[in-house]
Structures are given as C-alpha cells and as structure tokens.
Amino acid sequence: MTNSSLNSQAFSQETGLNQPRLKVVTLTKDTTEKFLNVVKKFNVQAIEYKPFLRFYIANCLNELTDNELGTFLINNLQNRETGAILLECEGASEKDTKSEDFIDFNILLSTAVSHLIGLPNLDSMSGKFYARFSVRNEDNSDSYLRQAHRRMELHNDGTYVQEKTDWVIMQKIIESNVEGGESLLLHLDDWTDLQKFYEHPLAKENLHWSSPSSKNVHYKTTHPIFLDENKDGKPIMSYIDQFAEPKNMEQGLYLYELGESLENDNATYSVKLNEGSMLIINNYFWLHGRDKFTANKNLHRELLRQRGVFAENIN
Ligand SMILES: [Fe+2]
C-alpha cells in the first residue's frame, strides 16, 4: 500500500513488513528539514514551560504535511484493523544522533505528534508530559522498565492510573552497544486465546492495581482486565503482570494463565526502532513489551514515552 489516499508528498506511508496492521510513516527529508527550521528557535525548556507552544509546533508539522498528517495518524490509531504506527524521519541517520540538537529535535518531534493526536497525560514518574529514561547493563530499579537482561512481558500502559490512556508513544532517543531489546507487539484480535480469557467469569471482575514507588502514583486503582467494549463492541484491555494485585487463588491463577498465554502466543512480533523513530499505538487493543538485550557492559539506550488521550476524551 502506498500514498494512494494521500495528497501530501510530505510523508509516505506503507504497510509494515509482514505486518499489515502496522503502518510505517516516513517524513521526507524535506519535511524533516523544514520542521527542524521551524522549531529550532524553541528549546525543550520552552515547550516544557509553555504548554501552548506544544500545540503551535504540532500545527507547524501538520501544515508542512498539507494538514494531512494529524488526520492520518488519528484515523489509523482509532481503526481497530490497524492502530499501530512506526514513524520515522528520512535522513535522520545522517545526523549526529548523539548530539544535544538531535535529542532536542526528537523531543520536539514527538511532542508535535502527541499534540496532533490528542493530549498527553502528566507522567508522574517525571512530573512532565513526557518521560525520558535509560536502560543500561546494570540496574537496581523497582520494575522491569529499565532492566536489560529480561524480557518485559506484554502489557498495556496506564493500568495503575485513573486517567484514560488511549495511546502510547515510545520513541528511541539514543542507542549504543545494543543487541536485542526489540519492541514486542501483539494486537488483541490476533491473540489466539482472546475469547477464552474474555469469556471467563473473571474477565470483567474488578481487580486492584498499584505501582512501585518510582512511579510516584500514591493510590490504587480498581478496574477489570477487560474494560467495557469499544464503540465497535470489540474487547479492549488494561493489563500488566507486575501491578495487578490478585486477592484470592482464583484471581491469581487467572492472571497467571493469561500471562502465560500472552507470552507464548505466536502472533507477537518484534519491531526494531532506529534512533529518532517512534512507535505510536492504540493502548487498548495493542499489547506491547520489550525483548531482552544481549549483555554488554557499555549498553545504553535512552527512550522517551508519552501517554495520553484522544481529543474526545480530554476532560
Ligand atoms: Fe509499557
């Protein structure tokens, strides 16, 4: 599939290799350079301090794409058949990807994207609308987020916060000495055992969810694993293995079996992100995770995430 439905030549879109649900969107070199020129007068601190600037740069990016990029992203993220986008910039690899300028550019780019698709939630871990974090060879943190030598199991984001989490952006900022660690994705409708767990008596039973101290969320939430169906009547999900608090054997075993089923499903596939590229997914019908890395004492990866809501769900 190519640009048949688009008039703009500012970006291209094609279906992901062997994965028809994933759209690969590439901003042309010209678009990337023009966006860089528009945003270079702003620094990251400016967009952190002035929320309206985030919308301004989002609008700049949209205008550079003949006002088509925003609509394209929203349509694909809300379409049950797709809902996942890999966004890349042509020519990014020619830049000094370790420079401060390139890092700032990437923060500005993902901010423009998040404000084209809706509004990011406050990320309690960072106290900002985005969070940057590192994965290194050694880690003593309190969740699997930064731990390199194990697979981070498939999950949805936002299970332990009260806000809706319609979408997630996962952007790779820097990478050095990394082998492995690919992003893992599973679309709910491709999960072989979906009906088995969705029709289970515990599927809609409320569970308690909490998070370790590093997340800075000082309350518990209560919701079932399968939330009320989407407008189209299909199941949507809010699940993560680490933060569910089963209160009895029945709930514990249901969670255990569900986790085992997800981890062993053959429809999970991996996506390699280049520096500067980002995955944007619908959080309610895509599960995501991360494969383990090959040990390397100099391993370093820096990521940026944003999580938020579509415009119709902004309070
Ligand atoms: Fe996540």
Residue-range domain boundaries for the chain? 11-313
Q: How far away, in angstroms, is 288 Cα from ligand 1 center?
A: 6
DSSP the chain: --STT---SSEEEEEETTEEEEEEEEE-HHHHHHHHHHHTT--HHHHHH-HHHHHHHHHHHHHHTTT-HHHHHHHHHH-TT--EEEEEETTGGGS-TTSHHHHHHHHHHHHHHHHHHEEEPPBTTTTBSSEEEEEESS---SSGGGBTTSPEEEE-S-TTSSS---EEEEEEEEEES--B--EEEEEGGG-TTHHHHHSSTTTTS-EEE---GGG---S-EEE-SEES--TTS--EE---TTTEE--SHHHHHHHHHHHHHHHT-TT-EEEPPPTT-EEEEETTTEEEEEPPBPP-TT-EEEEEEEEEEEGGG--
Q: How far away, in angstroms, is 155 Cα from ligand 1 center?
A: 6
Q: Kindly report the CATH number that applies to the domain delimited by 11-313.
A: 3.60.130.10
Q: How far away, in angstroms, is 230 Cα from ligand 1 center?
A: 21
Q: How far away, in angstroms, is 4 Cα from ligand 1 center?
A: 33
d(CA 170, CA 305): 5
For residue 47, count other CB atoms closer than 10 A to its CB. Answer: 25
Q: How far away, in angstroms, is 9 Cα from ligand 1 center?
A: 33
Q: What is the pLDDT along the chain (315 residues), one digit of tens a residue?
A: 445 567 788 898 888 767 899 999 999 999 999 999 999 899 899 999 999 999 999 999 999 999 999 999 999 999 999 999 999 999 877 777 778 888 899 999 999 999 999 999 999 889 999 999 888 777 666 666 666 777 899 999 999 998 999 999 999 988 888 788 899 999 999 999 999 999 999 999 999 998 878 778 888 899 999 997 777 889 999 999 999 999 999 999 999 999 999 999 999 999 999 888 999 999 999 999 999 888 788 888 889 999 999 999 988
Q: How far away, in angstroms, is 28 Cα from ligand 1 center?
A: 29
Q: How far away, in angstroms, is 146 Cα from ligand 1 center?
A: 11
Q: How far away, in angstroms, is 79 Cα from ligand 1 center?
A: 21
Q: How far away, in angstroms, is 6 Cα from ligand 1 center?
A: 31
